[in-house]
Amino acid sequence: MNAQPFFLDHIWLIPMFPLATAAVMLFYGRRLSNNIVSWLCSGSVFVSFIFSLGAFFQIVAKPSAARVATKVLFEWIPAVPYHMLDGRLAKFVADWGFQIDPLSCVMILVVTGVGFLIHIYSTGYMAHEGGYYRFFGYLNLFMFSMLMLVLANNLLLLFVGWEGVGTCSYLLIGFYFHKKSASDAGKKAFIVNRVGDAGFLLGIFLTSALLGTIRFTEIGPALAAGGFAIGDPRITAIALLFFVGATGKSAQIPLYVWLPDAMEGPTPVSALIHAATMVTAGVYMVVRTNAIYQLSPKAMGVVALVGAVTALFAASMGVVQNDIKKVLAYSTVSQLGYMFLACGVGAFTAGIFHLMTHAFFKGLLFLAAGSVIHAVSGEQDMRKMGALSKKIPITYWTMLIAALAIAGIFPFAGFISKDLILGKAYEKDALLWAIGYFTAGMTAFYMFRLIFMTFHGTSRVDREAEHHIHESPKSMLVPLMILAALSIVGGWVSWPEIFGGNSHFINFLSTVVAVPHEARIEPLKGASSRLGEIHLMLLSEGLVVLGILFAWYLYVKRTDLPEKIAKAFGGFYRLVYNKYYVDQLYDAMFVNRAKDLGLALGAFDRNVIDGVGVNGAGWLTRFISNVSIWWDTWIVDGSVRLFAYIVWCLNIPVRMIQDGLVQSYMLLIVLGLIGFFGYYFYVAHHAIR
Amino acid sequence: MVPVDQYLWLSLALFTIGVIGVLTRRNVIIILMSIELILNAVNINLVAFSHMFGTVDGQVFAIFVITDAAAEAAVGLGIILAFFRNRETLLADEMDMLKW
Amino acid sequence: MVLNSILFYFFAALAVGSAILMVTRRNVVHGAVYLITTLLATAGVFLLLQAEFLFIVQVILYVGGIMVLFIFVIMLVNLDISLLQYQFNRQRFVAAVLALALGAQIFLAIKMGQKSLFPQASVPEILPKNTEAVADALFGHFMLPFEIASILLLVAMIGAVVMAKRRV
């Protein structure tokens, strides 16, 4: 495109900066000092952030209807002709192209912004770890992949980024690869992701076969031109296949099992990848292709239901976990469920809004948890923490702010985004709203359980660790404070209209959502027989406060109660504590079956291929060689020896005659003479004259 | 006058005895002497016919035969001596090295 | 003449008898002696056939030369063992048969041509001097064979010396 504003024209540089530094890490990282590595890698992300800001402002400068800019670097897959499902000839084109619109703007700002903060944090957190340059190289590679994902202008390039973030997730989860649990977790993440990716790929194929294009800008017109009825099974199929991919990447039921294990990775990794950015890729993808979803109410229903149930399910598991990071992991799964609930009920923009606020407070929660772990010398079990609030104040206050935000206390960021979702859910389906409502209460409960167990009550920290409790270095604290600030004000970009705001954010994103009649979230004015928006807000606030109080009661006031409750609900407690045995179920159903297949194939290889094939071939060769030996010995040599034998046989009379005795020779002379004489005298005596 | 065929019978008798001696005896010296006997038989034959025809050709031939016999006996005995020095044997049965 | 016949039959019997004896003696020296007698008998036969030169040559050369040589060699060679060994070899019977067969064949051959052997009338009793005649033939017509025979003798001489020489 010509004559585009600078940042829009150079949008392709945004992923390239982190890629460049990742490449530098690959080739030279080992030789560089930690200092240089920190400056280089964080610096490149910062530059990308600046560029993202620039792009944002230049997009905003455009009129609202024209807020789409594309930049194609080069044609990656040239037009390959193929037949669509209905027989029309189409060309499969995938270019290395970038698309800027409000959605991708929000995403790149979140990714580069939060990513930059986490890079800064990592310089402090990973300062004493081995493989420093490797960590930052992977981190930058991840930034590149994520940015490619959100900036792609077609499904295939998005998939490239999709796979890239999956790979980086594997690399970073298994960063401490000498630990078996870490490398196992990395493998689990990648393999479970793969299942989702298969669905996603099938969705892409079906899209190109049905619509003839995979470019986002062309999908909308193709859908309109195709004359698809609402609820067309093919469209539903595409939507559901995409959603399978989303469940894998964004850890929904049934492919969420990798996310709790992913906590084996370093805490900055958990913060960046498994809270703020990678896991949100599924949500992004659903919103990006919302035109397809809008045409299939069934698919949207599935999305909403799965999201809601996952939210509840994960929250229940988060309530009983004792590892601080695991609680946060289940919390992430739960919040992602909220985002999908939002998409499922049509509030795509609300889902993205929650994505953004979640990035702030979940990122902050993870980083602060890392700070806590750092303070208590590596202890992650909350049962061994307590009374830390006075000892690590900054960590405490920032984490508290994040907890308030996630619980949904007014006026923190989480309140606004969660309420938008619940409001829209209530409009669509009261059951979905009820699930979300109840889950919000649980969220508040387990979050404050975490806060109270970690920072309040009596100190249960180990003797030696207690002496070393210290606040983290500046490099770790500053990002915490920035994120805390964002957690407070982050939601104010879309202040609800009933309080006098004008939903800037939602409006900003509205152009991204396809069907106009779902664009704006109408405030519930004048709904007579239903609860108004304000009533819903009050209800949820009430439940949240109840949850916080309950947590305070159990974990500050009467700390003996939790154990008694656990004993009382013994079986149920054990069920939830063991994560409903889902991992074991998957093991039995899939993992061990796959291993069995491997063993069977191994046995087949050993016995049939090696046994019959290789050994058989060996045996056959030996057999043939024996035949050959026999042939050579008896036939070939034999014929030679036969001739020799014949000559020998002919020789026998001659041998008998030649005995070296002169007299026997003489005898033969006489014999010959007799014959000679006989012939000449009695047969041919005419010859004698 | 003795008819010529009587000389021929004599010659034949000596020849046959000589052949028997050559073929039958083991001692090589006896064999050589038998050969001389054969040559003598031939000489008698030659001279008898020379007498019958009245020429001396037969006798000249007989002289040559005698000359030949002398030479051959000399060389033959030399060989026998050499062989005897090597193998300590005079028996023709034991002189069988010249075979495969 | 009757004397001729008697002498002939005498010499013939002597020759054949000595020959048979020679071929059958175990002792080689005896055999040699009997050969000498055979040769002398043959010389007598030559004389009866009026071949005087040949008679003398036979006696001097054959008996006086060749047989002496034989005796020398017999004496040089140790013959005690031979008195204890078998005389006749393995092929004696076959050999005897074959030799007699050969003899029979020649007998038959002579018998067949016997008719043409009696030009009795043209044989004179006294022939001109035999030695001169032989010399004429030998140095005249048969000069070449004579020279070749002398070379033969030379070669034989050398050969005999080389053969019988002790290794140096």
- Examine the pLDDT at B7 and tell me if it is beyond 80: yes
State the burial class of residue A422 (Cβ atoms within 10 Å of its Cβ: 0-12, 13-18, 19+). buried
CA-nearest of A126, A115, A377, A167 to A266 is A126
H-helix segments, chain C: 2-24, 28-48, 52-57, 68-76, 92-112, 130-136, 143-164
Nearest by CB to residue C94, choosing from A667, A673, A681, is A667
Residue A3 has what pLDDT? Answer: 58
- Give residue-wise pLDDT tens across range A85-127: 777 788 888 888 888 888 888 888 999 999 999 999 999 888 8
Q: Are A125 and A271 in contact (CB under 8 A)?
A: no
- Examine the pLDDT at B1 and tell me if it is beyond 70: no
Cβ neighbours of B70 in C, within 8 Å: 61-62, 65-66, 153, 156
Query: How far is Cα A39 from Cα A46, in angstroms, rounded to an integer?
Result: 10
Average the pLDDT over A635-642 and give the result: 88
Residue A86 has what pLDDT? Answer: 76
Q: Are A543 and A444 in contact (CB under 8 A)?
A: yes
Distance from CA of C108 to the nearest CA of B (A): 11
Hey, CA dihedral for A200, A203, A208, A211, is it positive or negative?
negative
Q: Are B79 and A648 in contact (CB under 8 A)?
A: no
Inter-chain Cβ pairs, chain A and chain C, closer than 8 A: 27
**Model confidence at A619, in pLDDT bands (50, 70, 90)?**
confident
Query: How far is Cα A183 from Cα A175, in angstroms, rounded to an integer?
Result: 8
Query: How far is Cα A4 from Cα C125, in angstroms, rounded to an integer?
Result: 163
Inter-chain Cβ pairs, chain A and chain B, closer than 8 A: 28
Query: How far is Cα A227 from Cα A108, in angstroms, rounded to an integer?
Result: 34
Residue A574 has what pLDDT? Answer: 79
Strands (E) across A55-156 are located at 69-83, 89-100
- Give residue-wise pLDDT tens across range A530-580: 557 777 788 888 888 888 888 888 887 777 777 777 777 777 787 888 778
- Give residue-wise pLDDT tens across range A161-186: 999 999 999 999 999 888 898 999 99
- Examine the pLDDT at B10 and tell me if it is beyond 70: yes
At A69, phi and psi to the nearest 5? -130, 140
Closest residue in B to A663 (Cα–Cα): B23
Sorted by where each begins, the domain ranges of chain C are 1-83, 127-168
- A660–B92: do the CB atoms touch at under 8 Å? no
Query: How far is Cα C50 from Cα C130, in angstroms, rounded to an integer?
Result: 8
- A660–B23: do the CB atoms touch at under 8 Å? no
- Give residue-wise pLDDT tens across range A217-236: 888 888 878 777 777 888 89
- Examine the pLDDT at A519 and tell me if it is beyond 80: no
Query: How far is Cα B16 from Cα B19, in angstroms, rounded to an integer?
Result: 5
- C123–B51: do the CB atoms touch at under 8 Å? yes
Top residue of B15, B16, B20, B23 to mutate, by most chain A CBs within 10 Å, is: B23
Hey, CA dihedral for A633, A637, A639, A645, is it positive or negative?
negative
Top residue of A664, A676, A685, A686 to mutate, by most chain C CBs within 10 Å, is: A664
Query: How far is Cα A417 from Cα A357, in angstroms, rounded to an integer?
Result: 7
CA A192 to chain centre: 8
Task: Give me the CATH code for the B4-90 domain, please.
Answer: 1.10.287.3510
Contacting residues for A202 by C-beta, under 8 A, at least 6 apart: A241
Query: How far is Cα A407 from Cα A418, in angstroms, rounded to an integer?
Result: 9
- C19–B59: do the CB atoms touch at under 8 Å? no
Query: How far is Cα A456 from Cα A512, in angstroms, rounded to an integer?
Result: 45
The radius of gyration of chain B's CA atoms, rounded to the nearest angstrom, is: 17
Nearest by CB to residue C70, choosing from B60, B75, B77, is B77
Distances (CA, A) of A657 to A458, A676, B22: 126, 19, 18
Helix, strand or coil for residue A381? strand
**Model confidence at A594, in pLDDT bands (50, 70, 90)?**
confident
Contacting residues for C52 by C-beta, under 8 A, at least 6 apart: C46, C130, C131
Query: How far is Cα A110 from Cα A104, in angstroms, rounded to an integer?
Result: 10
- Give residue-wise pLDDT tens across range A282-306: 999 998 888 888 888 888 889 999 9
- A674–C105: do the CB atoms touch at under 8 Å? yes
Chains contacting B (3+ CB pairs below 8 angstroms): A, C
Which regions of chain C are under pLDDT 50?
Answer: 121
Residue A33 has what pLDDT? Answer: 83
- C95–A673: do the CB atoms touch at under 8 Å? no
What's the CA angle centered on A650, arms A646 and A654, to 5 degrees? 150
- A663–B100: do the CB atoms touch at under 8 Å? no
Cβ neighbours of A673 in C, within 8 Å: 102
Phi/psi zone of residue C20: left (φ > 0), alpha (ψ -120 to 50 degrees), beta? alpha
Residue A235 has what pLDDT? Answer: 87
Contacting residues for A380 by C-beta, under 8 A, at least 6 apart: A323, A324, A325, A373
Give the residue carrying structure tokens 């000449």: A680
Which amino acid makes up residue A622?
R
Cβ neighbours of A661 in B, within 8 Å: 92-93, 95-96
Residue A632, both tokens: 């050579």
Residue A612 has what pLDDT? Answer: 77
Question: C-alpha dihedral over C96, C98, C99, C101, to 10 degrees?
Answer: 120
Through-space distance between the first and last CA atoms of chain A, rounded to whole angstroms:
132
Higher pLDDT: B20 or A380? It is B20
**Model confidence at A1, in pLDDT bands (50, 70, 90)?**
very low
Top residue of C52, C56, C73, C83 to mutate, by most chain B CBs within 10 Å, is: C73
DSSP-derived pairing of the beta strands A69-83 and A89-100:
antiparallel
Residues of A with CB under 8 A from a CB of B: 655, 658-663, 666-667, 670
**Model confidence at A347, in pLDDT bands (50, 70, 90)?**
confident
Through-space distance between the first and last CA atoms of chain C, rounded to whole angstroms:
61
Sorted by where each begins, the domain ranges of chain B are 4-90
Distances (CA, A) of C25 to A293, B17, B25, B93: 139, 13, 10, 18
- Give residue-wise pLDDT tens across range B34-75: 999 999 999 999 999 988 888 889 999 999 999 999 999 999
Contacting residues for A328 by C-beta, under 8 A, at least 6 apart: A263, A270, A275, A362, A365, A366, A369, A450
- How many other C-beta atoms lie within 10 A of the C-beta of residue A498? 13
Residue A380 has what pLDDT? Answer: 85
- Examine the pLDDT at A522 and tell me if it is beyond 90: no
Lowest mean pLDDT across A36-45, A60-69, A334-343? A60-69
Query: How far is Cα A147 from Cα A20, in angstroms, rounded to an integer?
Result: 13
Residue A81 has what pLDDT? Answer: 83
Cβ neighbours of B91 in A, within 8 Å: none
- CB of A674 within 8 Å of a chain C CB? The answer is yes
Helix, strand or coil for residue A142? helix
Cβ neighbours of C114 in B, within 8 Å: 5
Q: What percent of chain A has pLDDT over 90?
A: 22
Judge: domain C1-83, CATH 1.20.120.1200.
yes
Question: C-alpha dihedral over A589, A595, A599, A600, to 10 degrees?
Answer: 40
- C82–B27: do the CB atoms touch at under 8 Å? yes
Residue A528 has what pLDDT? Answer: 37
Nearest by CB to residue A663, choosing from B23, B97, B98, is B23
Q: Which residues pair with A96 in a beta bridge?
A: A74
- A666–B23: do the CB atoms touch at under 8 Å? yes
Cβ neighbours of A660 in B, within 8 Å: 95-99
Contacting C residues, span 68-107, partner chain A, CB-CB under 8 Å: 89, 91, 94-95, 98-99, 101-102, 105-106
Distance from CA of C118 to the nearest CA of A (A): 18
Nearest by CB to residue C91, choosing from A664, A673, A677, is A664
Query: How far is Cα A603 from Cα A535, in angstroms, rounded to an integer?
Result: 66
